[in-house]
Amino acid sequence: MIKATQQLFQLLFDNGLQLITRVRTNMKNKLLPLIDKVYLRKRAIIETVNDQLKNISQIEHSRHRCLPNFLFNLIAQI
């Protein structure tokens, strides 16, 4: 039986998208191309900077259902 994540990976790959994730201990060991390793490092840096900016600005991440609610929450946080 194929797991849901493997199905998602295959669906994205069939549509021309490549899902790049780091190799975890419970995953099959496969070699990552060098460019994918670079992308993973840059992603970690970007996520760290975004997290720091959210903490400094005290902006919480919330999922809004419409644009006016998002803008209202953003203005209220600023």
pLDDT tens digits, 21-76: 776 777 666 677 788 888 888 988 998 998 888 888 777 666 777 888 888 888 88
Global pTM reads: 0.46
Helices (H), 1-78: 4-14, 34-57, 67-77
Structure tokens at 31: 């070699």
Tell which wins on pLDDT, 77 or 35: 35
**Nearest to 17, CA basis, from 27, 8, 25:** 8
- Predicted local confidence at residue 1, as pLDDT: 44
What span, in angstroms and rounded, lies between the C-alpha atoms of 43 and 35? 12
The domain ranges of the chain are 4-77
Query: pLDDT at position 61, please?
Result: 64
46 or 3, higher pLDDT: 46
**What mean pLDDT is predicted for residues 12-19?**
85
